[in-house]
Amino acid sequence: MQKNIVIGIDGGGTHTRAVAVDTTGHVLAHSRSGAANLHKDPHAKQHVRAAIANLLAKVGCNEGDIISLVAGFAGLDRTEDQAWCDDFIDIDGMNGTKRAVSDAWIAQVGAVGGEPGIIAISGTGSVVFGINENGEQLRNYDFRQYASSTARHLSYETVYRILAGSYDLEDEELITKVFTYWGVSDMQEFGKLASTGFISDHQSCNMKFGDMAQLVTVAAATGSPLAIEVCNSGVSQLITAVRLVGSQFASDCIRLALIGSVARSPYMMQRLENEIAKANKQGKSYAVQQPRYEPVTGAILMAFQQAGIDITDEIHENLGLST
């Protein structure tokens, strides 16, 4: 007997998260695996397939029971990326509908229900994505603007400033923690490590820098001038990105949700909210709201719509309780 399951996938640059639900929105199983961005991890396809296989095993069903699947992928930024994303979810034995979209799209649907609004994502990656009143999808990338506010960007900039000697006495605690993080004892040893590229493998190096970002955001919150400058620069670039995307909205008041480990860290979130309040006095206003659902739930909502299933209050209630 067919079980009729719906699957949503959040294929991020660090982890892949997949959730299976029944047709009333009750969660049947969760699954988690490695990165899903082919540009960052050569094993991305295996990670996505493993997440799906794990879901099916937990639910006790097979590929033929999947009636709809939507996956949002980090790295789906260009037309040519669509092919590998589609291939990732081309599952043998699955006859249901399936679609691969950007991770930003599922995050927007999860955050504001697919209604007009903007999300600012800053974590492993960075993108500002909006859907305006005409249903047009807009990204800061479309303006050839990139906000260097990702976890790794904050860490790289912090390290470069330390190596260049651009710091104050108040930064000594942060510098000590950075030395400990990299397993060095002094500036000379750190410089030697840096001059050899830190870590030979590019992806491993970026991951190491990304994991260091919490040191920077926490240091900013405790008053390190260096960390504050680095974080504030990232915030400024994100605000510019939001206003660029917002310029293509008709409304003077636009919903905005902040998403990602960097954007939602205490210092960055407070600074973003303060800077948004200042920006609101200069033109369009942005109403910051808590994301209603996580991105993976946005994928589930899109999968319901794709299957022609009305999203009822019962489904919203079940998803809210379960995911």
What is the average pLDDT value for the chain, to the nearest integer? 95
Mean pLDDT of all residues in 76-98? 95
Whether residue 321 is predicted with pLDDT greater than 80 in this model: the reply is no
Question: Is the domain of 39 the same as that of 88?
Answer: yes
d(CA 32, CA 19) in angstroms, rounded, equals 9
Question: Is the domain of 75 the same as that of 120?
Answer: no
Question: Is the domain of 197 the same as that of 300?
Answer: no
Question: Is the domain of 35 the same as that of 182?
Answer: no
Question: Is the domain of 265 the same as that of 298?
Answer: no
What contacts 24+ positions apart, CB below 8 Å, involve 40-46?
A: 40/13, 40/74, 40/75, 40/203, 40/206, 41/203, 44/11, 44/88, 45/84, 45/87, 45/88
Question: Is the domain of 145 the same as that of 213?
Answer: yes
Question: How much of the chain, in percent, has pLDDT values that exceed 70?
Answer: 98
What pLDDT does 237 receive?
A: 97
Question: Is the domain of 155 the same as that of 249?
Answer: yes
What pLDDT does 288 receive?
A: 95
Domain count across the chain: 2
pTM: 0.87
Higher pLDDT, 13 or 58: 58
Q: Is 313 exposed, middle or buried (0-12, 13-18, 19+ CB in 10 A)?
A: exposed
Question: Is the domain of 53 the same as that of 132?
Answer: no
- Confidence tier at 77 by pLDDT (50, 70, 90): confident
The CATH number of whichever domain residue 38 belongs to comes to: 3.30.420.40
**pLDDT 10s digits, 108-131:** 999 998 789 999 999 988 999 999
Domain coverage including residue 282: 115-291
What pLDDT does 320 receive?
A: 82
What pLDDT does 13 receive?
A: 87
